[in-house]
Amino acid sequence: MRVLVTGGAGYIGSVLATELLQRGHQVVVLDNLSHGHRQAVPKDAELVVGELADRAGLDRVMREHSPDAVLHLAALIEAGESMKAPEVFFRNNTANALTLLEAMLAAGVKRFVFSSTAALYGNPERTPIQEDDALAPTNAYGESKLLVERMLAWFHRIHGLRYASLRYFNAAGASRPDQGEAHQPESHLIPRILAVALGRAQHANIFGTDYATPDGTCVRDYIHVSDLARAHLLAVDALAKERENSVPLIYNLGNGQGFSVRQVVDVARQVTGHPIPVIESPRRPGDPAVLIASSEKIRRELGWQPRFPDLQTIVESAWQWHRAHPNGYSGEDAAQRK
């Protein structure tokens, strides 16, 4: 199968591109390299540097590469930043997704896997969260993704688009010695904590200690990046087998267990042998107290099973990557990122 991966030079996208190639698929990566890295793209994938807002460029990619499916991972992801500049997130995450879908429809591409988010659920009424629970984002990032899911439902109904929406919980860990998490700036908890152990930061921040959780800090469900990638493979295979009128595939992706910020810090201390001092800071706007997934639906329907479910394994894999690559993809200079 020929597969187009948007955002394939990023953290999850590059791991997914590698997994697709290992399964024998042909992979084209479309990325503007604003947050991705050339070095993260596997050598057997073709990299096209371009913008999702460029409809003519998208049409050219569709015409030249004739993908059988599009896996859409390109998006801004910092929930806190979305509460400062929501317009940027709606333009990048929502409007650009619409442009991509329009180009797909014009080219006759009818299979789409969407990188969605647990942020759709906001402050959930129950945990573990199930796919049919209420969708009520508490930040603009989650709303920007929910709008895409709503568009997809209409495109399926009217145009016969076959799609899977994968609602990620907290992606973490590293899959390979040469592929890991390297955001600039880094907003994810585990790499920020490990930066302290590497001597690149003096302390880690805990945002909010008065939540209604056992230790007062936010609780999240962490999922290894390799397990996320395998879920995408199962989803795109399922779409290839679907009939034209098949129902959309909507799945949560998590481990079904939650860990507080303090617990993550404690595990990182054990893994690294570093004391990792912390500073307690006020809550960030839009942060739900608890997000834990029920992934029973994808386990039941597609046979997905996390291979790396425990937090210590996830943190250890991340530590191996960051210790070997303290500067991320350090060989990449500014010219390469353009």
Question: Which are the catalytic amino acids?
Answer: 141
Tell me how crowded residue 185 is: count the other CB atoms within 10 A of its CB: 8
Cβ partners under 8 Å of residue 193, min gap 6: 204, 264, 265, 268, 276
Alpha-carbon distances, residue 326 vs 13, 174, 188, 246 (angstroms): 21, 14, 16, 46
d(CA 82, CA 63): 34
Alpha-carbon distances, residue 247 vs 64, 134, 148, 238 (angstroms): 30, 19, 17, 11
Peptide bond just before 185 cis, omega within 30 deg: yes
Query: Which residue shows structure tokens 């070997």?
Result: 324
Residues 86-111: b if buried by 16+ CB within 10 A, e if exposed: eeebbebbbbbbebbbebbbebebbb
